[in-house]
Amino acid sequence: MNILEKEKKLSALEKQIDGLGNKKSVEKLKIEIENFKLNEMTKLTAWDRVLLARHQSRPKAKEFIDYLSPDFIELHGDRLFRDDPSIIGGIGTIEGNVFTIIAQQKGSSTEDNIKRNFGMPHPEGYRKALRLMQQAEKFKRPILTLIDTPGAYPGIGAEERGQGQAIAMNLMEMSKLTVPIITVIIGEGGSGGALAIGFANKMLMLENSIFSILSPEGYASILWKDASKAAQAAEVMKLTAYDLKDFQIIDEIIKEPPGGAHFDKEKVFTETKKAIVETYNKLKRLSGIELYYQRNTKTRNYGFLQRFNYDNLGGIKNDIHKDFGNR
């Protein structure tokens, strides 16, 4: 039973309460619901987390921004081609600190989704993000990016305008910045499209969000020639927040209520805000060069490999398996 089916069962149970007149049985049912929430809804497989990350009613970037910074002013356009609605950029204050906020926005309804291109940015979106980041660098503003995208858009127009070049340029320029960059993955983080605004000093992640090299469906169809094995692929790919924390790709996990972020949005927002402010207060103490250095050393250490030398001959592989065995 995956999480969506459990959710249906829960709502069915909650509907039953209305039908019952007897006080005792209502109490009994309430306890049953609580137990169900605690025992069943918290036991999540990787595939459950994928489903939650893509959930229709999961809070989207715009809702986060509205809560985090009520005085947010959106800025549009990349000054080269057009404005990409799938990336929101602008300036706002969070707890009195002025931030440049850049976020990937999925739509909440079908119409909105078509306008937002299902959260898949075009190159002009990335160039807008880059423009705003360089603006932030000029005025020494910290940068907050919120990631929620299935990936960069694969289409004719996107290729004509250099999707790869736009992402590469973002990565290169972000490595040079001397202001703090904080990234929060709030939903799906898909491949290069997510990383293009995620080259950060600190990377935070909501508990039920995912960050992966490609979608589990794509993975299953490329490696196993069978897209229906996506659930199995999700387990293998290690794309959940806890796995990534083990790999030291992300720095912190933001807790979610049982059953996913959409059950208690307010709580998720406050937790996120707390985590962002805490992280910012830590980064604030570092100077520009220290921030540059921290970001680059952190990135330099990504990778899982071993260099051959005569000391580690024999048994090196086993040692590493031991270290990561408990995850």
Examine residue 187 and tell whether it contacts other proteins (CB under 8 A). no
Q: By CB under 8 A, what part of segment 81-140 binds other proteins?
A: none
DSSP of 231-271: HHHHHHHT-BHHHHHHTTSSSEEE---TT-GGG-HHHHHHH
Report the nearest approach of other proteins to the CB of residue 139 (Å): 22
Taking each helix axis from N to C end, the angle separating 46-53 and 3-19, rounded to the nearest 10 degrees, works out to 70
Using the minimum distance from each CB to other proteins, give the nearer residue, 63 or 217: 217
Q: Give the single-character DSSP code of 60.
A: P
Strand blocks (E) in 79-173: 87-94, 97-104, 143-149
Rg of the chain taking only CA atoms, in angstroms = 21
Using the minimum distance from each CB to other proteins, give the nearer residue, 38 or 222: 222
User: Nearest-CA neighbor of 198 among 155, 159, 167?
Assistant: 167
Examine residue 163 and tell whether it contacts other proteins (CB under 8 A). yes
Among positions 11, 43, 247, 290, the unique one binding other proteins when judged by CB under 8 A: 247
The residues, any chain, with a CB within 8 Å of residue 49's CB and separated by 6 or more, are 208, 209, 210, 234, 239, 240, 241
Examine residue 156 and tell whether it contacts other proteins (CB under 8 A). yes
Report the nearest approach of other proteins to the CB of residue 239 (Å): 7
Name residue, tokens 């705003």. Answer: 132
Encoded one letter per residue, x for contact with other proteins by CB under 8 A and - for no contact, window 188-227 reads ---xx--xx--x-----------xxxx----x--xx----
Among positions 155, 288, 293, 319, the unique one binding other proteins when judged by CB under 8 A: 155
Write out the residues near other proteins by the rule CB under 8 A. 152-156, 158-165, 167-169, 171-173, 175-176, 191-192, 195-196, 199, 211-214, 219, 222-223, 236-239, 244, 247, 249, 296, 299-300, 302-309, 316-317, 320, 324
